Protein backbone atom coordinates (compact mmCIF):
# COMPACT_ATOMS: atom_id res chain seq x y z
CA UNK A 1 0.00 0.00 0.00
CA UNK A 2 1.22 3.51 -0.76
CA UNK A 3 2.55 5.48 2.20
CA UNK A 4 1.98 8.88 0.62
CA UNK A 5 -0.89 9.80 -1.66
CA UNK A 6 -0.07 12.91 -3.67
CA UNK A 7 -2.63 15.42 -4.91
CA UNK A 8 -2.21 18.72 -6.74
CA UNK A 9 -5.83 19.88 -6.33
CA UNK A 10 -5.21 22.53 -3.67
CA UNK A 11 -8.89 23.48 -3.27
CA UNK A 12 -9.81 20.01 -1.93
CA UNK A 13 -10.58 19.78 1.80
CA UNK A 14 -8.15 16.83 2.02
CA UNK A 15 -5.23 18.65 0.40
CA UNK A 16 -2.24 19.15 2.73
CA UNK A 17 1.16 20.85 2.49
CA UNK A 18 3.54 19.19 0.07
CA UNK A 19 0.68 18.09 -2.22
CA UNK A 20 -0.31 15.32 0.20
CA UNK A 21 -3.81 13.88 0.55
CA UNK A 22 -5.10 13.74 4.16
CA UNK A 23 -8.20 11.64 3.42
CA UNK A 24 -8.62 8.43 5.44
CA UNK A 25 -9.67 6.61 2.27
CA UNK A 26 -9.28 7.29 -1.45
CA UNK A 27 -12.07 6.35 -3.86
CA UNK A 28 -11.10 6.25 -7.55
CA UNK A 29 -13.71 5.44 -10.21
CA UNK A 30 -13.64 4.55 -13.89
CA UNK A 31 -15.81 6.22 -16.54
CA UNK A 32 -15.88 2.96 -18.48
CA UNK A 33 -17.13 0.41 -15.97
CA UNK A 34 -14.93 -1.76 -13.76
CA UNK A 35 -11.73 -1.26 -15.78
CA UNK A 36 -9.84 1.66 -17.30
CA UNK A 37 -7.29 1.69 -20.10
CA UNK A 38 -5.64 4.98 -19.08
CA UNK A 39 -5.75 7.70 -16.42
CA UNK A 40 -8.10 9.92 -18.45
CA UNK A 41 -10.81 7.30 -17.93
CA UNK A 42 -10.65 7.70 -14.13
CA UNK A 43 -11.57 10.27 -11.47
CA UNK A 44 -10.99 10.65 -7.75
CA UNK A 45 -14.42 10.62 -6.10
CA UNK A 46 -12.79 11.49 -2.76
CA UNK A 47 -12.50 15.13 -3.88
CA UNK A 48 -14.53 17.64 -1.85
CA UNK A 49 -14.10 21.36 -2.58
CA UNK A 50 -13.15 23.69 0.25
CA UNK A 51 -15.97 25.96 1.36
Contacts of 15 (CB under 8 A, 6+ apart): 7, 9, 21, 22
Q: What's the pLDDT at 2?
A: 75
Reported pTM: 0.82
Percent of the chain with pLDDT over 70: 100
Assign residue 50 a region (left: φ > 0; alpha: ψ between -120 and 50; beta: otherwise): beta
- Rounded CA separation 31/38 (Å): 11
Domain that holds residue 34: 1-51
Check residue 7 and give its pLDDT.
95
What distance in Å separates the CA atoms of residue 51 and residue 39, rounded to the nearest whole number? 27
Kindly state the average pLDDT of the residues 3-30.
Answer: 95
Average pLDDT of the chain is 94
Domain count, the chain: 1
Question: How far from the centroid of its chain's Cα atoms is residue 10's Cα?
Answer: 11
Mean pLDDT of 18-41: 95
Amino acid sequence: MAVDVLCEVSNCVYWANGNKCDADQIYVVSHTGKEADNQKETDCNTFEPEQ
